[in-house]
Chain A
Amino acid sequence: MSVDIATVKRVAHLARIAVTEEEAQSFQGEINAILGFAEQLNEVDVEGVEPLTSVVAQTMKKRADVVTDGFYADRVVANAPVSDDDFFVVPKVVE
């Protein structure tokens, strides 16, 4: 399988990365090289094989559903590029 330029642009939009025409072309070649490399995976018989979900056989740890952390909104927003009164500020989303 290989990707065309339109697919590269669509995927870039899905990933929310603006790309120039030139970049899209460069990515197209590189992505196709990697997908070409991955073609060999089709040689493998995976009939009846379960996909690996965890390399370690252990049941996921659980903890009590209680608050263990928090109450410091100022620290949470401390690294935000724009914040106001402990809120993250973004461009207007709803008219």
Chain B
Amino acid sequence: MSSTDLTSLTIAEIRDGLTAKAFSATELTQAYLASMEAARALNAYIVETPEQALSMAAASDAKLAKGEARALEGVPIGVKDLFATEGVHTQAASHILDKFKPNYESTVTANLWNDGAVMLGKLNMDEFAMGSSNETSFYGPVVNPWRKEGSNAPLVPGGSSGGSAAAVAARLCAGATATDTGGSIRQPAAFTGTVGIKPTYGRCSRWGTVAFASSLDQAGPIARTVRDAAILLKSMASVDAKDTTSVDVPVGDYEGAIGQSVKGLRIGIPREYRLDGMSAEIEALWQQGIAWLKEAGAEIVDISLPHTKYALPAYYIVAPAEASSNLARYDGVRYGLRVPGEDIASMYENTRSAGFGHEVKRRILIGTYVLSAGYYDAYYVRAQKIRTLIKRDFDLAFEAGVDAVLTPATPSAAFGLAEMTTASPVEMYLNDIFTVTVNMAGLPGLAVPAGLDKSKLPLGLQLIGRPFEEETLFRLGQVIEDAAGTFTPSKWW
């Protein structure tokens, strides 16, 4: 098989090919390492780990030879820079974690390696996962492998998991780990024609994942197909004693759910997601998704989630508040960058001033402000009460018999690099308008590619499920994928 053929295989096909000895794990890893080297213009990887990859691939070949292949044996994976990887660059794409190499492994990545996956390197992202375009990275922006038809202008891959999404779309890894606090898996997946799932809060352990907003952060995979996302989530998810918010529910058979009929499932269409000024293309995509699910036997019901419009402003109180607390640990003492000062306070101030980028500093300042005396009740407590109401909206819909909710994933296709530089932060935040409710309510959300816009850029739909019923999302997601097909950018890099 040629190198291009190898990197075109889905994870399910890799599994079959390795078992049938059509190629070796080493050949597959070599093919990916070559494609990564040729794609450095995309800036998807911050660090490539070829030696580690080849040694893990050799170990996989030995397992395969003995007939002891594990669930992800020999599957080459890219890892978002937010996950601690032992002895390897882990900096959340921030300058403040300069030279940090943890001597421990995150639970999510440990689960992947225990299942035989191969690590290709660390993927670029928005600094501390704060951003919707991957432009806040200390390592520079990631370029989307997709371009508008007839244009060479670079586009953003979305964020914060922009490196993960771009690498999967450009075939620089078979699948990637990602994280989602307000849409950071689903929005970049939609911008790159890939599949991304944010599982239920508590499904994947947060241990060893650099914290942004602890009550919202969840890890999940980005992959090229619904089935591949199911295969990856099965390995990433676990019940972990090291994370007290890890929930004691057995990990489901996600792949087994694929192909099961969706006949009779009730799909809620929330009227509040039909925004004023929403583009006709997004509306048409949504209607197409509704038609596909109806054709497959699902029942479509109109629902109301009345507090939807308050999710985004409430999120931009809650998430910065938690971030300001989580990021207090970067003080130039225990790890990362230190910038000297005349005393310890100025050392802290100089270190944090030089180490954090503008977006991160702004969020820390907002968080500090809304938690400060006199404002705590007016902002933070009120936002947390509204969060209760947002969750209640979903609870009531599910109690009324809705099995899943279908919405657009993003309000538009990918935008141009630097196009939003002069926009107000609020405009950038609007990218997350359809995804952020899901984090606020702790629910699982799947973004699945559903079509192309008039410039031939991918657009995605989002399926939102009941807590710990990811299986339902994979069943429905496969129906959309079967109808829409999969989407691959043409190679220009």
Interface positions of A (Cβ within 8 A of B): 1, 3, 7-8, 11-19, 23, 26-27, 30-31, 33-35, 37-42, 44, 46, 49-56, 58, 60-61, 63, 75, 77-82, 88, 90-93
22 contacting pairs across A/B (C-beta < 8 A): A1-B378, A11-B368, A15-B364, A16-B349, A18-B350, A27-B365, A30-B362, A34-B316, A34-B425, A40-B309, A41-B313, A41-B314, A41-B382, A49-B388, A52-B384, A52-B387, A58-B247, A79-B334, A81-B332, A81-B336, A92-B343, A92-B344
Are A56 and B314 touching (Cβ within 8 A)?
no
User: Is B426 within 8 A of A37, CB to CB?
Assistant: yes
Asked if B372 is at the interface (CB within 8 A of a chain A CB), the reply is: yes
Q: Does B4 contact A (CB under 8 A)?
A: no
Residues of A within 8 Å of B215, CB to CB, are: 54-55
Binding stretch for chain A, among B99-107, B111-119, B144-152, B286-294? B99-107
Size bracket of the B interface: 35 or more
Within 8 A of A (CB), among B311-346: 312-314, 316-317, 324, 328, 331-338, 340-346
Contact check, A50 vs B352: say whether CB atoms are below 8 A apart: no
Q: Which of A8, A79, A82, A93 gathers the greatest number of chain B CB atoms within 10 Å?
A: A79
Contact B332 A17 (CB under 8 A): no
- Please state if B441 and A55 are interface contacts (CB–CB under 8 Å): yes
Q: How close is A77's CB to chain B, nearest CB, in angstroms?
A: 8
Task: Report the bound CA distance from A80 to B384 in whole Å.
Answer: 36
Instruction: Check B245–A56 contact: CB distance below 8 A.
Output: yes
Partner of A12, one of B334, B346, B365: B365
Q: Knowing A1-B378, A14-B372, A75-B103, say if A90 contacts B365 (CB, 8 Å).
A: no
Contact partner of A80 among B328, B334, B429, CB < 8 A? B334
Q: Which chain A positions have C-beta within 8 A of B353? A: 17-19
Interface of chain B: mostly helix, strand, loop or mixed? helix
Q: In the complex where A40-B310, A63-B241 touch, is A16 in contact with B385 (Cβ < 8 A)?
A: no
Confirm or deny: B174 has a beta carbon within 8 angstroms of a beta carbon on chain A: no
Tell me which of B245, B248, B317, B347 contacts A41 (CB under 8 A): B317
A-chain residues with CB within 8 Å of residue B341 when the two chains form the complex: 91
User: Do A44 and B333 have beta carbons less than 8 Å apart?
Assistant: no
- Report whether B347 and A90 are in contact in the complex, using a CB–CB cutoff of 8 Å: yes
Q: Give the chain B neighbours of A1 by CB distance below 8 A.
A: 375, 378
A66 to chain B, nearest CB (A): 13
Asked if A79 contacts B100 (CB within 8 A), the reply is: yes
B429 to chain A, nearest CB (A): 8
CB of B270 closer than 8 Å to a CB of A:
no
B273 close to chain A: CB less than 8 A = no
A56 touches B247 (CB 8 A): yes
B489 at the A interface (CB under 8 A):
no
Pick from B101, B333, B388, B429: contact of A52, CB below 8 A: B388
Q: Are B244 and A60 in contact (CB under 8 A)?
A: yes
Across-interface contacts of B490 in A (CB, < 8 A)? none
Kindly state the separation between the CA atoms of A16 and B345 in the bound complex, as whole angstroms.
7
| Cα separation A52 to B356 with both chains bound (whole Å) | 30
Apart from the given pairs A46-B389, A81-B333, 10 other A-B contacts in the complex at a CB distance below 8 Å:
A14-B368, A17-B352, A35-B366, A41-B382, A42-B382, A46-B382, A54-B245, A56-B202, A63-B241, A80-B333
* Distance, CA A1 to CA B382, complexed state (A): 14
Q: Are A82 and B386 interface neighbours, CB within 8 A?
A: no
Q: Report how far A17 CA is from B378 CA in the complex, Å.
A: 24
Chain B contacts for A31, CB-based, 8 A: 362, 365-366, 369
Contact (Cβ within 8 A) B310 A44? yes
